[in-house]
């Protein structure tokens, strides 16, 4: 009996201690980050609208609030039959996924202000950029002597590193990102896809013989490691060389050799991207990231997002194992209900479909401000976009005619950032930018 009393007293003391720590922690958090009532109201509004949006547009998905205004869990109906198994554990994927709305809003708004093409300007501005970043992340070739010889290193990488960004935020109006899912064969989206200002495709996905389903227009093509190593075969799809090839991995000697000797007529660039942590991964997410960094609006086709589509297939080949379909679908639904993208699929085939309960632009901006404070981001709370710059360097000289050919929205964005170019700093604790200014 005495042991029971002691155990109860210990449990009570532990509970009170935990409560006290929580109260002190929350008080310290609010005091440090200065979350005002309007910040909390913005997060409340975003989360409430988000739940309604998922319920109205998610084809059976449900969004449930978590322990705070940032956490939400997207749940699939109980009768959903998962098909994908974790190759390491053998376990089927789950039917619910938790996401942090604050982190998503803060990161994706950062993407909208950033350039996602790797440039010489960026590497020049990094401390020890050529010796560390260029050698470790781009080539890793022993012949370059760790890029200590900058002239040799620049010469080696000149085929894929432009001096300054070839594309700027809001350079295009309407853009379409085309995935490789077999569900493209269920709907003839071809003419609709060709109506966009820019179309981005993935890896070696063919167009010939599939134009009524996938269209024939192709502005950009994002390549993963395997496709980059077979760059000559990918480039053979387009004899005109007009399609821009974006490589999301490191460049190797064999790839440089192909560009020089085949020769490959297409422009080739390397991707510099933001960090999404444990979010849905894959070429599709990086393609959306690039599109969001240069386009006003982004629509996605050919991703396995409908609940009735069970198999993970390509439209041009047999079934395969791939990324977790349910996790990916949940993440893309989150993106749609944050106003980042619009999903098109066999069950969402109406091009005039209206996404209900989307957040207003003012709500997103206010929620981004609150999220930056809560997450301790660089420049949190400031209305000056350049407050997010962790590193600021002088800009390389731009071609004077380049600004005159930009659309009005792109010019207005350049005025908003005072002519600066903002590059995301990977794995930066405060998710700051490297900024080059005029």
DSSP secondary structure, 53-70, as one string:
HHHHHSTT-EEEE-SSSS
Q: Is the pLDDT of residue 20 over 80?
A: no
The count of C-alpha atoms lying within 13 angstroms of the C-alpha of 4, restricted to the half-sphere facing its C-beta, is: 1
Q: What is the pLDDT of residue 328?
A: 87
- When divided into structural domains, the chain yields a total of 1
Q: Is residue 7 part of a domain?
A: no
Q: Is residue 221 part of a domain?
A: yes
Residue 64 or 88, more confident: 64
Q: What is the pLDDT of residue 10?
A: 39
Residues 10 and 423: their CA atoms lie apart, in Å, by 53
Residue 314 or 399, more confident: 314
Q: Are strands 421-424 and 172-178 parallel, antiparallel or unpaired?
A: unpaired
> What CATH number did the domain enclosing 317 receive?
3.90.1480.20
Q: Containing domain of residue 268, as a range?
A: 110-359
Segment 351-373 shows an average pLDDT of 96
Residues 428 and 385: their CA atoms lie apart, in Å, by 17
Q: Is the pLDDT of residue 390 over 60?
A: yes
Q: Is the pLDDT of residue 371 over 50?
A: yes
Q: Is residue 72 part of a domain?
A: no
Q: Is residue 148 part of a domain?
A: yes
Look up the pTM and report it: 0.88
Q: Is residue 123 part of a domain?
A: yes
Q: Is residue 387 part of a domain?
A: no
Q: What is the pLDDT of residue 332?
A: 95
- In 302-438 the beta strands, taken as DSSP E runs, fall at 342-343, 389-394, 421-424, 433-437
Chain segment 180-212, per-residue pLDDT in tens: 998 899 999 999 999 999 999 999 899 989 999
Q: Is residue 344 part of a domain?
A: yes
Q: Is residue 427 part of a domain?
A: no
């Amino acid at each position: 009996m005495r042991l029971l009393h002691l155990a109860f007293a210990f449990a009570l003391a532990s509970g009170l201690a935990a409560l006290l720590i929580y109260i002190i922690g929350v008080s310290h958090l609010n005091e440090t980050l200065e979350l005002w009532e309007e910040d909390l109201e913005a997060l409340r509004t975003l989360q409430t609208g988000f739940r309604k949006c998922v319920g109205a547009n998610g084809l059976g998905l449900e969004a449930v609030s978590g322990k705070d205004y940032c956490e939400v869990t997207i749940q699939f109906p109980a009768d959903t039959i998962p098909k994908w198994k974790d190759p390491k554990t053998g376990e089927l994927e789950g039917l619910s996924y938790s996401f942090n709305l604050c982190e998503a809003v803060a990161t994706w708004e950062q993407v909208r202000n950033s350039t996602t093409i790797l440039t010489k300007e960026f590497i020049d501005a990094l401390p020890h950029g050529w010796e560390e970043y260029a050698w470790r992340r781009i080539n890793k070739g022993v012949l370059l002597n760790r890029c200590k010889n900058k002239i040799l290193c620049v010469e080696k990488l000149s085929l894929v590193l432009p001096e300054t960004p070839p594309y700027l935020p809001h350079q295009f109006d309407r853009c379409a990102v085309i995935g490789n899912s077999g569900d493209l064969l269920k709907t003839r989206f071809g003419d609709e896809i060709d109506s966009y200002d820019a179309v981005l495709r993935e890896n070696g996905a063919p167009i010939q013989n599939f134009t009524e389903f996938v269209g024939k227009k192709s502005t950009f093509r994002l390549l993963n490691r395997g496709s980059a190593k077979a760059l000559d075969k990918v480039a053979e799809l387009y004899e005109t060389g007009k399609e821009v090839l974006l490589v999301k991995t490191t460049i190797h000697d064999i790839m440089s050799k192909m560009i020089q000797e085949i020769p490959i007529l297409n422009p080739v660039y390397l991707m510099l991207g933001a960090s999404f942590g444990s979010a849905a991964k894959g070429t599709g997410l990086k393609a959306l990231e690039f599109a969001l960094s240069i386009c006003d609006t982004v629509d996605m086709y050919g991703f396995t997002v409908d609940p009735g589509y069970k198999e993970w297939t390509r439209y041009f080949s047999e079934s395969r194992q791939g990324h977790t379909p349910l996790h990916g679908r949940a993440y893309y639904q989150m993106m749609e209900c944050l106003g980042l993208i619009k999903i098109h699929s066999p069950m969402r085939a109406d091009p005039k479909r209206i996404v209900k309960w989307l957040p207003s632009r003012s709500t997103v901006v206010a929620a981004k401000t609150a999220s930056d404070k809560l997450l301790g981001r660089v420049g949190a709370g400031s209305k000056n976009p350049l407050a997010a710059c962790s590193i600021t360097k002088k800009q390389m000289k731009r071609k004077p005619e380049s600004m005159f050919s930009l659309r009005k929205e792109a010019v207005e964005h350049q005025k908003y950032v005072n002519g600066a170019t903002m590059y995301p700093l990977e794995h930066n604790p405060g998710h700051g930018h490297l900024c080059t200014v005029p």
